[in-house]
Copies of this chain bind each other. A is one copy, B any other.
Amino acid sequence: METRELRYFVAVAEELHFGRAAERLRIAQPPLSRAIQQLERRLGARLLERDSRGVRLTEAGRVLLREGRAALAGIEAAERRTRRAAAARPGLVLATKAGASSELLAKLLAAYAAEPDAVPVDVLLCGPGEQERVLRDGRADVALLHRPFDSTAGLDTEVLAEERQVVVLPAGHPLSGRRDVTTAEIAALPDLPLPRWPDLDGGYPDGPGPQVRDSVQLMQLIALGRACAIVPESARTHLHEQHATVTVSDAPTVTTVIAWPPQSRSPALAHLVRTALGV
């Protein structure tokens, strides 16, 4: 199977429309139809059900869409990593969620930079859930992830830190004097709803709570008494005097891990991971 065929199939499977897929691929529709037919013939499997009502995926098509996307990401990763290995300054790219674990990250970067024969490390700031993708497609070599929020499926990891979560409240809120609170108590504050974050596609889920796009917005809303938020306790460094924090007793602990794609253990990467474990 050639990557061209796979790209074509993925485009059609995503659009469920030959014309639009062809446009996206910048080719005409007939060659696309032929390519898909040829792919189906070669695989000996029907991938798409076409009739007058449109195009639908068969079971085999769903499998190929899932597996094919992963395979294409693997190809792109190979390409990008090769380019980077050949670059004049072949450093490491570390992906991290914007704003999270900033203290740990700073310590890690400082410790690693102080090591003998450390390579330059670029930091790539990602939106939520984006890290796994940039790691898989070769834009990054290593990432800081936060379980249980980020999935570490298919990655090699080492645990760097564990921490409790705290609720961020407006300063002076009645609960702010407490030693700890429960998620049920937080949910029972109708005037301080938890915010809604955008999906991967940019839309917002339904429900109450203000829509926020970044943590600056969120912190402002909290200071204004319009929302509250549950965050790892290390995020306290971003707060100021208009905020109060209280430990949430029954929220899951957050584990910060350093993660990298399996079997891509270059010497520099191994060195960085070793340093991270010593911090």
Tell me which of B59, B75, B86, B138 contacts A60 (CB under 8 A). Answer: B86
Q: Are A154 and B64 in contact (CB under 8 A)?
A: no
The distance in angstroms between the C-alpha atoms of A63 and B141, with both chains bound, is: 12
Which of A158-166, A200-208, A261-269 binds B? Answer: A261-269
Contacts of A67 in B (CB 8 A): 74, 77-78, 81-82, 138, 264
Number of copies: 2
Contacts of A58 in B (CB 8 A): 86
Q: Are B78 and A264 in contact (CB under 8 A)?
A: no
Q: Are B79 and A74 in contact (CB under 8 A)?
A: no
Contacts of A1 in B (CB 8 A): 3, 75, 78-79
Interface SS majority for chain A: helix
Nearest CB on B from A72, distance (A): 9
Nearest CB on B from A90, distance (A): 7
Known contacts being A3-B2, A66-B263, A67-B77, is A43 close to B153, with CB within 8 Å?
A: no
Nearest CB on B from A37, distance (A): 15
Q: Are A6 and B154 in contact (CB under 8 A)?
A: no
Known contacts being A154-B261, A154-B262, is A71 close to B63, with CB within 8 Å?
A: no
Q: Are A75 and B86 in contact (CB under 8 A)?
A: no
Nearest CB on B from A228, distance (A): 34
Give 9 A-B pairs besides A59-B90, A153-B263, A154-B263 with Cβ atoms closer than 8 angstroms: A43-B82, A44-B83, A45-B85, A60-B83, A63-B266, A64-B81, A67-B82, A74-B75, A154-B156
Sorted from nearest, which 3 A-B pairs have the closest CB atoms? A154-B262, A45-B86, A67-B78
